Structures are given as structure tokens and as C-alpha cells.
Amino acid sequence: MAAQRVLIVDDEPDIRELLDITLSRMGLETFSAANLTEARNMVSDIVPDLCLTDMRLPDGNGISLVEYIQQEHAHIPVAMITAHGSVETAISALKAGAFDFISKPIELETLRKLVSTALQLEGDISRLDKAVVQDLIGEAPAIQKLRSQITKLARSQAPVHICGESGSGKEVVARLIHNNGPRAPGNFIAVNCGAIPPDLMESELFGHLKGSFTGATSDKPGLFQAAAGGTLFLDEVADLPLVMQVKLLRAIQEKAVRPVGGSEEVPTDVRLLSATHKDLAAEVEAGRFRDDLYYRINVIDLQVPSLRERAEDLPMLARALLKRIAREHGNEQAALDDSAIEALSGYSFPGNVRELENILERSLALADSGAITADDLQFSTMKPRNPAARTRKSDRDGASTWSVEEAYGDLQGYLDDMERQILSKALEESRWNKTATAKLLGISFRSLRYRLKKLQLDD
């Protein structure tokens, strides 16, 4: 097999030589260019398998080369060589499409790792596309765009922030980025930041040493260590308390964590993905999320559309999900009839795809043999599509609409009563799983716990 080709772009002959020697020893064929113009010509002539470029070049900057390659030869991975500590340059390079960066002085071990990672990426892109199509069902333009972004971002090491409503598929997207990238052999560790009690959070994330607090009976590695070589997915990252945000920022900056009770930092090698259903920029604005951390985790942001925004996908999605659910129950025959598809199409799905899955699962259990009908969906007990109509209330004292007067004299009692009903229904729908209930309601686990306690609904 012909050796893979690497194009080195740097105006300093010493660096070119160092890279040349190191990469040749890895069995690679190297080419070098000393400026942008030469580099652009060589990219077209030799079509390398990888390009390493310096940031500052005599006739322009390396980012424009990244952009050029993105435009003309999007399959060629580019890594940027940056000055030591210049975070901003590294972030701009990642935003422009570089898959990774390496800072000067170049550590040869890091360089070798980066290069082998990049070259592993060379593969059958259509195979990746196929996986992404299977797991991320939908043909709406927003989903097609998301799919091509995932394929591209899978090979990058850039931190990606995924936003979208609860249940819309943010974790599916994160897994696809991991599974289709060079870290796929490593672990994908997902953590719901809203579900970890604040006093345990540091030890969960960074680990602890034996004896560091009551109950720490042995050393325990944290989630950062568990994700080493793989991906750490911080779900509901907006729920991280401010003190933890500072610690997370430090871990990202130093690429190292200090276990609770430890005196030394341990290096970590994780790719960070994060998600929230909140508007993170607004959280920064409101002072609830640190802007320096926001800047670090939001290098690339991905938007997952709500199911309402891609209503055209509903029939296809419903059929595919039903097939998946039915297969898990050993049923190969399940189907939805036209009345069911019509009823589903008229519903707003505040809980998005997860809610659709729940409805299908329940209907499958209720349906007699034969196709699932609109009746089996039991929409009469659920919220209607029209958002204005959502304020209607059907089961308090038999009243079928909101009655402002009922709240007179005891607004709080009235609101508590409503909240109690909402929580009870959500708990029931989530089979009393509190994490799932919090997700369904779009609130953090902590907030749910607080509300259950306040309304004396906790057990």
C-alpha cells in the first residue's frame, strides 16, 4: 500500500525538518510548503491525507488554509500548530474546521498521537453516513444538515455544545459524534449534571482518594478518568453549580484533574461534548454560567430541531420507532394505521422524540392484535396541540377550563394544586423514575426533588 501523505506548512525550516523526520519515521511520505500560496498549490497537486499548518505564515494566516481545504477538499483533515498558550487561535482554528491543534514547542509524543488519530479517520465516509442515517431518523432539511455536521465533527477534537429541547435527540447526536470518530474504541461517558447532588459532584467528576471524606473507603476514579481516550458528555451542563464550573474550566485548561483529597493533578485525555435544553448564552447573561467556560465548551454549537420543527418527519419516525420498540418486545408485526398517524401529526410533542417513544410503547401495550389506531394512543388524556389551549384544565373539581376566580384568595394553594397534578402525571408517565420525570418536564433533577419535597409528594 502506498504511504500516506502529509503536507507540512511552516516557514521555519527547523520545524519543517523536525516534523519531516518524525513523520517519515512513522512510515509516512512528507511534503512541505513554506507559505500559503505554495501550500494551496500543493494541496491540489498531491491531495495529502493530512495537512499540518503553522498559524503565522509570511503571506497570510493558517486559518485561511483551513478554510480553503474545508471548501475545496473537505475530506482532508487539517491540524493547526499554535503558539504556546494561544487559546484563542486554537479555538478559531477549530471553529474554521481544523480537527485539532498542537502547541509549540511541539511534543513529539503528542504529535505522533495526533497524526495517527487523523490518519485513522481516513475511511469510508459513506459507511459513517449510513450509521448516522440509521440512528438519527428523519429527512427534514434541519436533520439532513445536522447529519452532515455530525459526520464532519466526528473527526474533529473540538468541544461541541448541543442544544435542543428535552427529548429531541441531543444524546443521540453526542453518541454519533463519538461512535464515528477516532475515539470510538474509548468510552462514551454521559453524565447528567443536574442529577448529581452538588456535594458529590467534584468526587464524581474527578474521583477521590481513600479517606478524603467520610465514606471514601477506597480510591475511586472519576468520570473524567473513566472517559480517558474517549468522550465525556456533560448533559444539562447549565445545571452545574458555579463552584464546579470553575473546577471544570481548570480541568479543561490544564487537561488534568485533581481527585478530591489528592495533592497532584492527573493528566486527562477526553473529548468534551455538552448539552442543555436551556439557552446557554442567556444563562451567561444572567450570571448563572461563567462566560470563560461557555467560550471553552461552545467552540462549535449544534442545534437539534424539536419534533414540531420537523413535523414532516413524524410518520417516518413513528413507524421506525414503533418497529424498534416492537422488536424489543419480540413483536415483528406492529403497525400504525392512518388514524393513528393523523392523530400523532396533530399533537405538539412538548417532550419530543422521547415522548413519541413513550406514547408508542404504551399504545403497543394497549392495542389488541392488529394495527395501532388513534384510540390506542389515548390522546384524550393528553395535552392538545394548540398552545393556547394548553392552559385548559380538565380534571380539577370537574371544571373543564381555567377559572381565574378559583385562585382568588389563595393563589399559591391553587398553583400548588396544579403543580401537584402535573408532577403526579409526569411521574406516572415516567414510571416513577425521577430522572426521566425531570427530563419530561424540562427541569433539573434537583429542581424536581425540591418541588416534590415542597408539595409533600416525595416518599
Ligand X SMILES: Nc1ncnc2c1ncn2[C@@H]1O[C@H](COP(=O)(O)OP(=O)(O)OP(=O)(O)O)[C@@H](O)[C@H]1O
Contact flag: residue 189 with ligand X (CB under 6 A) = no
Q: How many residues bind ligand X (CB under 6 A)?
A: 17
Give the binding range for ligand X (CB under 6 A) out of 160-168, 211-219, 249-257, 373-381: 160-168
DSSP alpha helices (H): ranges in 137-241? 141-154, 170-179, 198-206, 223-226
Within 13 Å of residue 243, how many CA atoms lie on the same side as its CB?
Answer: 5
CA 79 to chain centre: 23
Q: Interface with ligand X includes 168 (CB under 6 A)?
A: yes
C-beta closer to ligand X: residue 74 or 316: 316
Closest-CA residue to 443 (of 277, 199, 285): 277
Q: Least separation, in Å, of the C-beta of 34 and ligand X?
A: 47
Out of 353, 359, 367, 448, which residue is the one contacting ligand X (CB under 6 A)? Answer: 353
Q: Which of 170, 178, 271, 296 touches ligand X (CB under 6 A)?
A: 170
Piece of the chain touching ligand X by CB under 6 A; list 31-39, 209-217, 349-357, 406-414:
349-357
Answer yes or no whether residue 164 interacts with ligand X by CB under 6 A: yes
Q: In terms of CB distance, is 250 or 319 closer to ligand X?
A: 319
* Nearer to ligand X (CB atom), residue 40 or residue 354: 354
Residue 172 binding ligand X, by CB under 6 A: yes
Residue 136 touching ligand X (CB under 6 A)? yes
Least CB distance from residue 118 to ligand X, whole Å?
28
Q: Does 138 contact ligand X by CB under 6 A?
A: yes
- Applying CB under 6 A, the span of 10-18, 166-174, 261-269, 334-342 interacting with ligand X comes to 166-174
d(C-alpha 132, C-alpha 181), whole Å: 12
Least distance from ligand X to the Cβ atom of residue 168, Å: 4
Gyration radius of the chain over CA positions: 26
Cβ closest to ligand X, residue 282 vs residue 399: 282
Task: Identify the residue among 10, 49, 54, 235 touching ligand X (CB under 6 A).
Answer: 235
Judged by CB under 6 A, the chain residues 407 through 446 that form the site for ligand X are 439
DSSP characters for 26-89? TT-EEEEESSHHHHHHHHHHH--SEEEEESEETTEEHHHHHHHHHHH-TTS-EEEEE-TT-HHH
Which residues, 6+ apart, have CB-to-CB distance to 83 below 8 Å?
Answer: 55, 56, 89, 103, 104
What is the 8-class DSSP label of residue 180? Answer: T
3-state secondary structure of 194: coil
Nearer to ligand X, 48 or 167 (CB): 167
Binding-site member from 159, 169, 182, 222 for ligand X (CB under 6 A): 169
What is the closest distance, in whole angstroms, from the C-beta atom of residue 440 to ligand X in the complex?
8
CA–CA dist 416, 152 (Å, integer):
47
E strand or H helix at 342, and its extent?
helix 338-345
The span from the CA of 248 to the CA of 256, in Å, is: 10
Q: Is 38 exposed, middle or buried (0-12, 13-18, 19+ CB in 10 A)?
A: middle
Q: Which stretch binds ligand X (CB under 6 A): 136-144, 223-231, 285-293, 384-392?
A: 136-144
Residue 305, interface with ligand X (CB under 6 A)? no
Q: Is 182 a binder of ligand X (CB under 6 A)? A: no
CB closest to ligand X, residue no: 169
Helix (H) or strand (E) holding 160: strand 160-163
Give the Cα separation of 143 and 20 in Å (integer): 42
CB 62 within 8 A of CB 79: no
Is 194 an interacting residue with respect to ligand X (CB under 6 A)? no
In the complex, which residues of this chain contact ligand X (CB under 6 A)?
A: 136-138, 164, 166-172, 235, 277, 353-354, 357, 439
